[in-house]
Amino acid sequence: MTWYKRREGPLIVTIVVALFLIFEWYFGKGALIPETTKASGEIQRFVAFILAFVIGVGALNVLRIHWHRIQRRKPGDYSWVYSSWLFILIILFVVTGAILGAIPYEYDPEAAAYVAHRTAEPSYVWMFDYVLSALDATMYSILAFFIASGAYRAFRARTAEAALLLIAGTLVMLGNAPIGGFMWTGFIDISTWIQRIPMMAGMRGILIGAGLGAIAMGIRILTGRERGYLGGGE
């Protein structure tokens, strides 16, 4: 295997960087070894830069996949129409946001110079407000119907546990719905108690478990036992 395909390189980089950041967290901030803090900051800014770059790579990948789908156009399969629409909108957003938004064409008397609209570019804002926002909000709002239907089907007292869930769920709903407190303020008290005592106990248990799991995963990555993040299906 060629040297750049070997896994030892990324593993060593991961372990060295992780150990350095952990070391800096515990010893750099207390002015014990303050020089490490600057280097740690640089590493983290580099990560933020890579993450921003990855968004561009992701967009290109989406374009590539949908371009192939448009080219193939299987008989009877009209999904290429949606792919075309997605393709057009991505291009439009990039053109209006990244290109038109960057052209300085409005005179700013305060700055005595022509300035760019940037994110306030009118056509970009129009598309954001009246296309993306409207569609995104609609998709999320549809959840209300599914939740209502799901609650009707799931909240059925078939067993003792299900009955408990039904009672707790109904009381929390009555406590959270504004009209519940108006009907009887006790609903708010009961709902608050359910959320602050039994629910919180359960959630804290889950959070502590997840925290311990994250530590265990970190140790596995540090020791090179966990290699899933390198890809390759191993």
Q: How far is the CB of 5 from other proteins (least distance, A)?
A: 27
The only residue of 10, 156, 193, 230 in contact with other proteins, by rule CB under 8 A = 156
Task: Output the CA–CA distances (angstroms, integers) from residue 184 to 11, 167, 173, in the order listed.
Answer: 61, 16, 13
Q: Which stretch binds other proteins (CB under 8 A): 1-9, 35-43, 74-82, 224-232?
A: 35-43
- Per-residue x/- track, 39-78, other proteins (CB under 8 A): -xx--xx-xxx-xx--x-----------------------
Nearer to other proteins, 5 or 158 (CB): 158
Secondary structure (DSSP) of 109-171: TTTTEEEE-GGG-HHHHHHIIIIIHHHHHHHHHTHHHHHHHHHHHH---SSHHHHHHHHHHHH
Task: Tell which one of 23, 185, 218, 219 touches other proteins (CB under 8 A).
Answer: 185
> What is the rounded distance in angstroms from the CA atom of residue 69 to the CA atom of residue 83?
7
170 is a contact residue toward other proteins (CB under 8 A): yes
∠ CA 148-152-155 to the nearest 5 degrees? 120
DSSP tag of 230? G
Binding-site size for other proteins (CB under 8 A) equals: 60
Nearer to other proteins, 73 or 202 (CB): 202
The single residue among 195, 221, 222, 226 that binds other proteins, judged by CB under 8 A, is: 195
Secondary structure class of 18 (helix, strand, coil):
helix
Tell me, rounded to whole angstroms, the distance of Cα 102 from its chain centroid.
27
CB 170 within 8 Å of CB 162: no
Give yes or no for a contact between 92 and 127, defined as CB atoms under 8 angstroms apart.
yes
Report if residue 144 touches other proteins, rule: CB under 8 A.
yes
| Residues 109-128, mask of contacts with other proteins (x by CB under 8 A) | ------xx-xxx----x--x
Q: Shortest Cβ distance from residue 1 to other proteins (Å)?
A: 31
d(CA 197, CA 186): 16
Residue 166 in the binding site for other proteins (CB under 8 A)? yes
Sites of contact with other proteins (CB under 8 A): 37, 40-41, 44-45, 47-49, 51-52, 55, 115-116, 118-120, 125, 128-129, 132-134, 136-137, 139-141, 144-145, 147-149, 151-153, 155-158, 166, 170, 173-174, 176-182, 185, 188, 192, 195-196, 199-200, 203-204, 207
